[in-house]
Structure 1
Amino acid sequence: MSKIARQSIQTTVFSYIGVLLGYLNVLWLYPYALNATELGTFRTIQDLGLLFVPFAQLGVGHGITRFFPKLERHQSAFLTYSLGFSLLGFTMVALAFFGLKEQIVDLFASNSPEVIDFLGIVLLVTLFALLSSVLDAYGRSYLKVAIPTFFREVFLRLLTSVLIGAYLLGWIDFDRVMQGLVAVYGLALFGVLFYLVWLGKIQLDFNWKNFPPGFRSSFVRFSLITFLATAASTLIMKIDSIMVSSMVSLEANAIYSIAFYMALVVELPRRAISQVSMPVIADHFSKNEIPAINALYRQISNRQLYICMLLFALIWCNIDSIYHFVPNREIYQAGKWVVFYIALGKIFDVAFSVNSEILVFSNYYRFNLVLTIAMSILIIGVNYWLIPIFGIEGAAIGSAAVMLAFNLIKYSYLKAKLQLDPFSRETLKILLVGVPTFLVMFVDGDRLDPMLMIASRTIMIMGIFLGTSRLLGVGKEEWKWIRSKLKKSGP
């Protein structure tokens, strides 16, 4: 875990800096500078662009991670081959986009016609995000995760802040804001590219004939099989926002997006650990080290669940006070229960640990493909059923329910096929530590200043969490690990 720990702590630091910037953007700057319709348009175009990325990537990201350990040389040729393959995928996505443009326009014409004026921006966002994702996967194979995370989580949000700030100051109009979104993703791509060039990891090499026998065909076959699973996973994450815009309104999507972002902080430890664990899992599978995979599987589950339960309690128990600082909160506070249901779905996900990553790099990756496609179809159907009944809360409930079902099936399959299990008595202890902290939300603090309310409830939550942890003997390894890695990452 040494390489994982070192990179994950740096990645987590950048991720949380990104979260801080994201909170300032989403909870204050966006609703202050943009009206609800403009904010809904901004997020819908962004989500559409990112939704197309895995379809264009054709599974190249996972393919790089799986096949990189098999190469002793010719890594630069492998990168150019991967980039060429993904650009072929982008070309197909672009042709499909233009071919189906009339249907896409019809999707938004009734409830969100403002989106139609900016559909041309979508493909450019897709292209730059696509190239960034391929470079991220390449850097991840060298266990170089932290700096690409900086450009993705911090730099991108900082540039977006500048863009929206320029609109707030009256320097540009909203049309220029949407066009500037392309420049933001382009500059983030250039940053990752410059970093990898500086490390000496990128050279132009189009000599693709020197790969080991059968390497290219195996890489393409694996990538094409896994790309549908990756695309379906992204569809599961992004479809809510797009369906809320098309079925309700852009204002509803603005409310949903702010609530979704509040809940997203719960899963940040998983996102950081998952990125650096993937090449390690791939390496263990290449050596058939199943017990090592199970140990990693369980350790990550316990570590993530312990930290994420605390984050969930801190957010939910302070939710009303957090909304107090959102401009026009009388509009956006309607998403309060969206925060709860999305965060609950994230807790399901972190508890079941890196089951998706294990499936992708095992011999059972085809099952992950079938399951993910089935789940993406299910969530669309659930949203069509629940959104007309419960509005934006229906989309959140559907996401949490599908996330639980998704993970239960993957858990059962891995246990049956590989005898892998992330759960133990430690899992139950962690739940017994985390659940009582939610009682703090019933403490009456309506008369207090919102900032004082957040401070007092946070102190109470931390007291209950740490006290119960000590009583049940939980969290010693987690806190020891956090302290040691913070010390290592210091000057």
Structure 2
Amino acid sequence: MKKIAKQSILTTLSSYLGVLIGYFNVLWLLPYALQPEEIGIFRTIQDMGLLFVPFAQLGVGNGITRFYPKVKENQFSFFTFSIILSLIGFIIVLILFFIFKELIIQAFAQNSPEIIDFLAVVLLITLFSVLNTILDSFCRSFLKVAVPAFFREVILRLLSAVLVLTYLVRWIEFNSLMWGLALIYLIALLGMIGYMWKIKLFKLNFDFQAFPQGFLSDFMRFNLITLLGTTGAMLIMKIDSLMVTAMIGLDANAIYTIAFSIAVVIEMPRRAISQVVMPVVSDHFESNRLTEINQLYKQVAVHQLLICSFIFLAIWMNIDSLYHFVPNNAVYEAGKWVVLWIGLGKLTDVLFSINSEIIVFSKYYVFNITATVIMSIVVIVFNIILIPSFGIEGAAIASFIAMLLFNLIKYAYIKKRLNFDPFSMDILKTIGLIFGMAFIHYWTKDLLQPGLGSIILTLTLLIAVFAMGILVLKIATETRKRLFKKIKEVRS
């Protein structure tokens, strides 16, 4: 757990540095530099490109993490084979894209025809992102997640800011801005290659005969089975934005995108922990250490919920102040309730701990297909039903319902098959603390005017009450003991 904690902290630091840059980009720079419809194009093209990534990846990312312990002695042959496989996957996506190009055009032609001009950018983003995820997964097998997270969370956002600033000062036209999106993903990819080369993890070896008997067939089967799982999960995350663009328009997607970007920060610690936990879970399953996995399941649940619920409360208690600083806030504050619903959906993901990672790396990984296919259908159906009636809030509610059902299904399955359970008394105490803080906010929310002063006072109150609640309710006592012991060692 010590190594996990170290890498998680470094990854989380990168994530939150990225969040600060991302908040500057999304809450100030984009609304200041771009018109709402331009923001809609900018984000829709990225979302489309990233939506195709799991399809093109052919499930290889999770396959690397699961099968790496079996081929450590032939790691660079494994690395090379994985890259080749992902390139084949991209070619398949490319062919399918051109086959169904007319259908894609028709989906956006009525409400967002501007999207059609930049479909080539979508494919370039997909290609560079696919290769980046392979490099990321290989680094993760060595528990080297901090630097890849820095490229993913910080460098990409910095490059996006530079790109938009060049458009703001009119050094480039909007068409060049959109093509520049592909360029920044390429730069991030080249940076990852350089990092892996430096630490001697980037080496091509085409000796595929060295793999154990039956290894390649098992690897391919696992990848293809998890393909549906990973694509379904990505579909649940991205489909709402694309459906808002197709069904309402680019302006609506700009409002939705800014609201979504405010809320998505809630899950950053979960992402950081997941990156480090995945190879550990895979290794524990390989060694049949099921008790350790169940213990990790519970530990991660408590710590994730504490951190992420604090962030959720910090955002929601200051939501009016956050929108107060957004340029043209009269337009964008219509997404306020989107923040709440997406935030609750992210908390649902956090509450159920590492259930996805456990299923993927267990012998029951086939179930991931069932769960994600069901949830993909659910989120599309609910979007179709709710968006016409409730607009962008309907899309957010559909995402919340999908994430809640998705996690309930996975929890029930893990409980039945492995008898693992993430819930403990600390979870109930934390939920009670969240509701207590929400109650305090309800009665105090109208006392302050939106602005910097309100943010400072609200955060001070939240920190004080949250810290006192953790101490009084004795939540995560073992972690606090280790922390205080470490502080004493440093002071001495």
Give the shorter-chain TM-score range: over 0.9
- For 1:203, the equivalent position in structure 2 comes to 203
Whole-angstrom distance in 1 between the partners of 2:485 and 2:134:
32
Deviation at 1:252, TM superposition (A): 0.4
Whole-angstrom distance in 2 between the partners of 1:410 and 1:128:
31
In structure 2, relative to structure 1, the CA distance for the partners of 1:64 and 1:431 (3 Å cut) is same
Matched-pair contact (CA < 8 Å) for 2:324–2:450: no
- Superposed CA deviations along residues 167-205 of structure 1, whole A, max 9, x for unmatched, are 001111100000100110000001111111111112121
What SS is found at the alignment partner of 2:204? coil
- For 1:460, the equivalent position in structure 2 comes to 461
What SS is found at the alignment partner of 2:422? coil
Q: Matched residue pairs, number?
A: 489
Whole-angstrom distance in 1 between the partners of 2:157 and 2:322:
20
- RMSD value over aligned CA atoms? 1.6
Whole-angstrom distance in 1 between the partners of 2:148 and 2:487:
20
Deviation at 1:440, TM superposition (A): 2.0
Matched-pair contact (CA < 8 Å) for 2:256–2:335: yes
Instruction: State yes or no: 1:434 paired with 2:434.
Output: yes
Amino acid at match of 1:222: F
Amino acid at match of 2:474: G
Deviation at 1:72, TM superposition (A): 3.2
Alignment of 1:211-290 (within 5 A): 211-290=211-290
Alignment of 1:87-98 (within 5 A): 87-98=87-98
Whole-angstrom distance in 1 between the partners of 2:265 and 2:430:
19
- For 1:157, the equivalent position in structure 2 comes to 157
- For 2:319, the equivalent position in structure 1 comes to 319
In structure 2, relative to structure 1, the CA distance for the partners of 1:141 and 1:444 (3 Å cut) is closer
- For 2:12, the equivalent position in structure 1 comes to 12
Residue identity (%): 53
Structure 2: runs of 5 or more not aligned: none
Deviation at 1:395, TM superposition (A): 0.6
Whole-angstrom distance in 1 between the partners of 2:417 and 2:396:
32
Deviation at 1:132, TM superposition (A): 0.1
Whole-angstrom distance in 2 between the partners of 1:251 and 1:488:
55
Whole-angstrom distance in 2 between the partners of 1:260 and 1:484:
39
In structure 2, relative to structure 1, the CA distance for the partners of 1:8 and 1:100 (3 Å cut) is same
Matched-pair contact (CA < 8 Å) for 1:25–1:161: yes
- For 1:100, the equivalent position in structure 2 comes to 100
Whole-angstrom distance in 2 between the partners of 1:431 and 1:6:
27
Matched-pair contact (CA < 8 Å) for 1:9–1:486: no
Deviation at 1:478, TM superposition (A): 4.5
The TM-score, its normalising length taken from structure 2, stands at 0.97
Matched-pair contact (CA < 8 Å) for 2:317–2:445: no
Whole-angstrom distance in 2 between the partners of 1:257 and 1:122:
17
- For 1:394, the equivalent position in structure 2 comes to 394
Amino acid at match of 1:299: Q
- Superposed CA deviations along residues 6-37 of structure 1, whole A, max 9, x for unmatched, are 11000000000000000000000001000000
What SS is found at the alignment partner of 1:420? coil
Whole-angstrom distance in 1 between the partners of 2:404 and 2:80:
38
Whole-angstrom distance in 2 between the partners of 1:310 and 1:328:
28
Matched-pair contact (CA < 8 Å) for 2:39–2:254: yes
- For 2:121, the equivalent position in structure 1 comes to 121
What SS is found at the alignment partner of 1:74? helix
What SS is found at the alignment partner of 1:172? coil
In structure 2, relative to structure 1, the CA distance for the partners of 1:415 and 1:159 (3 Å cut) is same
Whole-angstrom distance in 1 between the partners of 2:337 and 2:374:
27
What SS is found at the alignment partner of 1:205? coil
- For 1:293, the equivalent position in structure 2 comes to 293
What SS is found at the alignment partner of 2:321? helix
- Superposed CA deviations along residues 403-458 of structure 1, whole A, max 9, x for unmatched, are 11111111111111111000011111111122211222531556646100011111
Alignment of 1:272-421 (within 5 A): 272-421=272-421
In structure 2, relative to structure 1, the CA distance for the partners of 1:148 and 1:483 (3 Å cut) is farther
Whole-angstrom distance in 1 between the partners of 2:153 and 2:311:
19
Amino acid at match of 1:94: L
- For 1:471, the equivalent position in structure 2 comes to 472
Deviation at 1:159, TM superposition (A): 0.4
Matched-pair contact (CA < 8 Å) for 1:83–1:134: yes
In structure 2, relative to structure 1, the CA distance for the partners of 1:24 and 1:368 (3 Å cut) is same
Alignment of 1:39-118 (within 5 A): 39-118=39-118
Deviation at 1:2, TM superposition (A): 1.5
Matched-pair contact (CA < 8 Å) for 2:300–2:353: yes
What SS is found at the alignment partner of 2:172? coil
Whole-angstrom distance in 1 between the partners of 2:416 and 2:295:
17
- Superposed CA deviations along residues 48-85 of structure 1, whole A, max 9, x for unmatched, are 00000000000000000000011131111101100101
In structure 2, relative to structure 1, the CA distance for the partners of 1:480 and 1:262 (3 Å cut) is farther
Matched-pair contact (CA < 8 Å) for 1:445–1:453: no
Whole-angstrom distance in 2 between the partners of 1:143 and 1:485:
23
The TM-score, its normalising length taken from structure 1, stands at 0.97
Amino acid at match of 2:468: G
Structure 1: runs of 5 or more not aligned: none
Deviation at 1:289, TM superposition (A): 0.9
Deviation at 1:472, TM superposition (A): 1.0
Whole-angstrom distance in 2 between the partners of 1:228 and 1:471:
45
Amino acid at match of 1:472: L
Deviation at 1:345, TM superposition (A): 0.6
What SS is found at the alignment partner of 2:73? coil
What SS is found at the alignment partner of 1:244? helix
In structure 2, relative to structure 1, the CA distance for the partners of 1:250 and 1:3 (3 Å cut) is same
Whole-angstrom distance in 2 between the partners of 1:389 and 1:487:
57
Amino acid at match of 1:180: G
Whole-angstrom distance in 2 between the partners of 1:387 and 1:397:
9
What SS is found at the alignment partner of 2:72? coil
Whole-angstrom distance in 1 between the partners of 2:482 and 2:391:
42
Matched-pair contact (CA < 8 Å) for 1:440–1:460: no
- Superposed CA deviations along residues 87-145 of structure 1, whole A, max 9, x for unmatched, are 11100000010111111110001101111111111100000000000000000001100
- For 1:166, the equivalent position in structure 2 comes to 166
- For 1:443, the equivalent position in structure 2 comes to 444
In structure 2, relative to structure 1, the CA distance for the partners of 1:302 and 1:114 (3 Å cut) is same
- Superposed CA deviations along residues 147-176 of structure 1, whole A, max 9, x for unmatched, are 000001000000000000000011111000
What SS is found at the alignment partner of 1:171? coil
Whole-angstrom distance in 2 between the partners of 1:483 and 1:445:
38
Matched-pair contact (CA < 8 Å) for 1:436–1:464: no
Amino acid at match of 1:458: L
